[in-house]
Structure 1
Amino acid sequence: MHEKRWRCYAMTVNGLPQEIRYNEATVEGLFLPLLHRLTALQVEKDGRILAFLAAPPATGKSTLLQFMEQLARERGDLPRGQALGMDGFHYPNSYLASHTILRDGMEIPLKNIKGAPETFDVALLAEKLKAAKAGVTTFPVYDRRIHDPRPDALIVDAPILLIEGNWLLLDEEPWRNLRALADYSIRIDAAPELLRERLIGRKVQGGLSEAEARAFYEASDAANVLRFAAHAGAADEVWCMEADGDFVRIKLHTKNPLR
């Protein structure tokens, strides 16, 4: 097996400068071919296309799509892509605080499970996706400074829209109706134990103690990781995230020659 060659890239993620790394072979053999497939699909359809990336928490999906947006821009021979997140479609905190959900016979405030499928405005997401296919529209953005969405914060106008989120391909109502709006879809799978350690590590880096981070995982993140694994839904491409953060493709849909 060839030794992996990692390359660092300077990026701005969530408004903050960061240095991220990807395997050079993965950039050339996985990311760029995907961008070329999307380009061919956009040319065939002669209009804006929507590509969904569904992945569980801690797989770096938002950073990945921002990197691919930057990659397309730097190459110069690819149409402009625009990376968009699903997090802007969270219900506002005021809504989450005033609404509950019944789980295991207990009534739980939605604010306690923020990030679960029930805490998103799926109807608004569907409305905005349809508007994006029809023409220029706006999208909300999740502001991590106030931990709330900001409506109509972003103008959406690129020929290729790259949209990421945990639940975009979820095989549950009302989420499964979104799949018809995607022209192409990618799903990233990852071992739950790998995600567990990454999520706990993220919380520790954010200032929690090890015990607090593990307690938060068991109370919140664990259910989302398992729900994604059980009900993620089908995709045109399936990737797997490895322990070192690299990605490998394990399925490519072949019925359409563009795919």
Structure 2
Amino acid sequence: MDTTSVVVNGLEVEAVVDHELIDGVLLPTLERLAARVKPGRRDYVFLVAPPGAGKSTLAALLEHRARHLDLDVVGIDGFHHPATHLETHHLLRGGEQVPLSSVKGAPETFDVDGLIRMLEAGREGQPLPWPGYDRVLHDVVPASQPVTAGLVVVEGTWLLLDEPGWSGLSAYSSFTVFLEAEPALLRDRLIERKVRGGLSREAAVDFYERSDRLNVERVLARSDRSTVDLPLHLNTDGTTERRGSA
């Protein structure tokens, strides 16, 4: 393994490159899928993982190392409802109504209908005005990531969620990767991420218990893995183990 500099969520980071996974499995798969895209059409690859598993970093590494392909890499964070919506709409949780802004990242905070419309429109191969998410503004930015490639990697936590509104999204994917990890490892990684971001350890643990833990448990328990083509498992040493065949 070695490291390379990639941009993840608008920030430049040093990412560890698992060559066995990237160069031995994922890049050949993307090359094969890109060669199969029919003229005038667009195909999608879904990259799904719970929070803390490193899906955004993996997506950025794929984008960096697949520059020879007609490939775009996008996330679904741009399909969050705008901040004004999240502040004025509520969700019943723990027996009380809480603002959606307090559970940002949960499935209820996304405009899944907008995501479906975008995926459907993109099938015909026309350029897509894909929305992005500004980590400084903490809000969505419409049409900030134009999609023009024939093959698009879409990364997100809830793309396989087997719940109303989300179930059936897998029909848009030509190939689906699911990266999982043990909940205890995800807990450690998520807490450390918040500490590096400036929170005290106590505040980071509190945020995990109030928000991240619920999302981790939900995606691991409620994702429909029947359509997964490549199951992966993140190990404690940072390596990724292949749990099935592509």
- Shorter-chain TM band: over 0.9
Q: Which residue of 1 aligns with 2:211?
A: 220
Q: Which residue of 2 aligns with 1:11?
A: 6
Q: Which residue of 1 aligns with 2:104?
A: 114
- Could you tell me how far apart the structure 2 residues matched to 1:69 and 1:24 are? 14
Q: Which residue of 2 aligns with 1:202?
A: 193
1:141 positional shift: 0.2
Q: TM-score, normalised by structure 2?
A: 0.93
2:77 maps to 1:87? yes
**Which residue of 21, 25, 36 maps to 2:20?**
25
Q: 1:22, 1:246 within 8 Å by CA — same for their partners in 2?
A: no
Q: Which residue of 2 aligns with 1:61?
A: 55
Q: Which residue of 2 aligns with 1:168?
A: 159
The equivalences for 1:138-177 within 5 A come to 138-177=129-168
Overall identity of the aligned pairs, in %? 41
Aligned residue type for 2:56: S
Measured at CA, do residues 210 and 104 of structure 1 come closer, stay the same or move farther in structure 2, by a change above 3 Å?
A: closer
Q: Which residue of 2 aligns with 1:98?
A: 88
Q: 1:69, 1:80 within 8 Å by CA — same for their partners in 2?
A: no
Q: Deviations over 1:23-62 (max 9, x none)?
A: 332333222232234234426x873210111101111211
Aligned residue type for 1:8: T
**Which residue of 179, 198, 212 maps to 1:188?**
179
Q: 2:42, 2:123 within 8 Å by CA — same for their partners in 1?
A: yes
Aligned residue type for 1:216: F
Q: Which residue of 2 aligns with 1:70?
A: 64
Three-state SS of the structure 2 residue aligned to 1:251 is coil
2:42 maps to 1:52? no
Aligned residue type for 2:31: H
Three-state SS of the structure 1 residue aligned to 2:202 is helix
Q: 1:138, 1:152 within 8 Å by CA — same for their partners in 2?
A: yes
1:83 positional shift: 0.7
- Could you tell me how far apart the structure 2 residues matched to 1:186 and 1:164 are? 9
Three-state SS of the structure 2 residue aligned to 1:175 is coil
Q: 2:34, 2:70 within 8 Å by CA — same for their partners in 1?
A: no
- Could you tell me how far apart the structure 2 residues matched to 1:27 and 1:158 are? 20
Q: 1:53, 1:187 within 8 Å by CA — same for their partners in 2?
A: yes
1:72 positional shift: 1.3
The equivalences for 1:123-138 within 5 A come to 123-134=113-124, 135-138=126-129
**Comparing 27-36 with 99-108, which one deviates more in the overlay?**
27-36
Q: How many residues align?
A: 243
Q: Deviations over 1:137-178 (max 9, x none)?
A: 111100001000001112111111000000011111110121
**Which residue of 232, 238, 242 maps to 1:245?**
238
1:16 positional shift: 2.9
Q: Deviations over 1:72-127 (max 9, x none)?
A: 11xx3xx3211101000001111011111112322121111100000000000001
Task: For structure 1, list consecutive stretches of 5 or more residues without a partner in the other structure.
Answer: 1-5, 253-258
Q: Deviations over 1:181-237 (max 9, x none)?
A: 112111111100000000000000011111111011001100000001101112121
Q: 1:66, 1:83 within 8 Å by CA — same for their partners in 2?
A: yes
Q: 1:190, 1:241 within 8 Å by CA — same for their partners in 2?
A: yes
1:63 positional shift: 1.8
